């Protein structure tokens, strides 16, 4: 059994000027938002959910991106509504959000 039920990695990499990267899409702020929401829903902690920052996940052209383990499901997102949908559908109900999956 994994230490966390779900381990969510937000790519927060910052590349040089003019280069595609997740941090150009407020990835840091979105990770912080997801972390707050998971805590507010009492989903955070061992046996539950962990939200982490990652360096480059090498899918810049599809970004911003997150990956949810243990399934290895990759998502993109645009705004907080997308993050809320991933939290409620995938992390709470165990259903993959197909419209955001990459």
Within a domain: residue 24? Answer: yes
Domain with 75, as residue range(s), is 6-100
CA dihedral 101, 20, 51, 84 (to 10 degrees): -50
Give 76's DSSP letter.
Answer: E
Within a domain: residue 1? Answer: no
Q: What pLDDT sits at residue 93?
A: 97
Within a domain: residue 42? Answer: yes
Please count the structural domains in the chain.
Answer: 1
Closest CA to 54 of 12, 18, 7: 12
Q: What pLDDT sits at residue 10?
A: 97
Structure tokens at 57: 């996940």
Q: Please write the tens of the pLDDT for every residue from 72-97.
A: 999 999 999 999 999 999 999 999 99
The CATH number of whichever domain residue 45 belongs to comes to: 3.40.30.10
Within a domain: residue 21? Answer: yes
Task: Give the count of beta carbons closer than 10 Å to the beta carbon of residue 68.
Answer: 19
């Amino acid at each position: 059994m994994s230490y966390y039920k779900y381990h969510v990695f937000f790519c927060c990499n910052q590349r040089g000027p003019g280069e595609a990267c997740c941090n150009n899409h407020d990835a840091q702020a979105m990770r912080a938002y997801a972390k707050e929401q998971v805590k507010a829903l009492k989903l955070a902690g061992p046996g539950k959910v962990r939200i982490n920052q990652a360096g480059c996940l090498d899918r810049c052209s599809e970004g911003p991106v997150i990956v949810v383990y243990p399934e290895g499901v990759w998502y993109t997102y645009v705004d907080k509504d997308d993050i809320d949908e991933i939290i409620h559908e995938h992390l709470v109900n165990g259903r993959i959000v197909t419209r955001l999956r990459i």
